[in-house]
Amino acid sequence: MNNQKPPYSELETKMKEAEELIHALRTQQVDAIVGERHIMLVRLKQAEENLKSSRNQLRALASYLLSARENERAVIARELHDEFGQGLTSLQLGLSWISRKLTPGQKPLQEKIRSLSATTTSLMRSVKSIASELRPSVLDELGLVKTLKSEAREFEGHTGIQCRFKTNTAKAKFDRSAAVAIFRIVQAALTNVARHAHASRALITLMKKKNELILTVMDNGKGISRKLIYGHDSLGITGMRERALALRGTFTLGGSRSKGTILTVQIPLSRVITGTAS
């Protein structure tokens, strides 16, 4: 009688054992690995929990830093507007006063005053622009929707890239910090479109859908690589992701050469909208 097992039988058993081992490891049902000389305790669940907790701490810190930065920006913007703005206005008025006092014979002085006055006007414009960049007053005055509309218009004006904005949230009243976060995400996304996308068209949408607010920024440019999306040095993208996550939202970015780039942020409505504007 032939009792010999088929040659593949042992291999089959080994394969089965290996599969079982992999399954046990994958499902975290292993708590020690027995080596020749050492026994290594595997506290996967504990390690995972520690990792999750550290990640949450980092996220909380990032959120705090973002909000601290916004506050700091607001203070600097106010100081710039109040101190420099007023100072420059007084200077401008002073120059006009001197100009009026000059006689027609003091031509070189008149020229100098005119030149100083032009510099002052230019400085006033710069201060206004920097203050507005730091803390867009229009966001406080007009609200998120109108600010985004104006941002799209300005973007088109500066870059020549056709930019449209669509929304169904015109009557919604946004939470102040959420509005700042959404505005900053749009600003960063548009900066990326201008710098990297080689696009001729961009579209921003802000839509309320069921219990979520969905923001998308898309373009018809050259798309974006996975390396760039997940790269540690893509600070703009990391910033946008952190802002979305701080609002308990999700952030996705994708694209291809034929379809351009599409950024989507989904945020629970309860975190963003506080009511309806009258």
Partner 1 sequence: MTKAGKREKRKYGKPGGKTYVFRLFVAGNESNSAQARVNLARICEEHIKGRYKIDAVDVLKDATAAHKNNVLVTPTLILIKPLPKVAVLGNLNDTRQVLAALRLTGDER
Question: What single DSSP character describes residue 222?
Answer: S
Dist CA 200 CA 220 (whole Å): 7
In terms of CB distance, is 23 or 248 closer to partner 1? 23
Contact with partner 1 (CB under 8 A) among 2, 3, 6, 34: 34
Max intra-chain CA distance, the chain: 131
Least distance from C-beta 36 to partner 1, angstroms?
8
- Concatenated DSSP letters of 158-220: HH--EEEEEES-TTEEE-HHHHHHHHHHHHHHHHHIIIII--SEEEEEEEEETTEEEEEEEES
Among 165, 184, 168, which Cα is nearest to 176's?
184
Q: Which pair of structure tokens corresponds to residue 15? A: 């394969």
> Which residues between 227 and 266 bind partner 1 (CB under 8 A)?
none
Shortest spacing between CB 8 and partner 1, in angstroms:
18
Closest distance to partner 1 from the beta carbon of 32 (Å): 3
Q: How far is the CB of 140 from partner 1 (least distance, A)?
A: 53
- The contact mask relative to partner 1 for 35-74 (x = CB under 8 A, - = no) is -x--x-x-x-x-----------------------------
Q: Is 30 a residue that touches partner 1 (CB under 8 A)? A: yes
Q: How far is the CB of 18 from partner 1 (least distance, A)?
A: 10
Could you tell me which residues are beta bridge partners of residue 215?
A: 206, 265
What is the CA 42 to chain-centroid distance, rounded?
38
Q: Does 32 bind partner 1 (CB under 8 A)?
A: yes
1 scored as a contact of partner 1 (CB under 8 A): no
Residues 184 and 230: beta-carbon distance below 8 Å: no
Asked if 15 touches partner 1 (CB under 8 A), the answer is no
Given the complex with partner 1, which of 1 and 41 has the nearer CB atom?
41
Roughly what angle, to the nearest 10 degrees, separates helices 107-134 and 44-79? 150
**Contact between 4 and partner 1 (CB under 8 A)?**
no
**Helix, coil or strand: residue 212:** strand
CB of 201 to partner 1, least distance (A): 55
Helix (H) and strand (E) counts in the chain: 10, 9
Site residues for partner 1 per CB under 8 A: 17, 20-21, 23-25, 27-34, 36, 39, 41, 43, 45
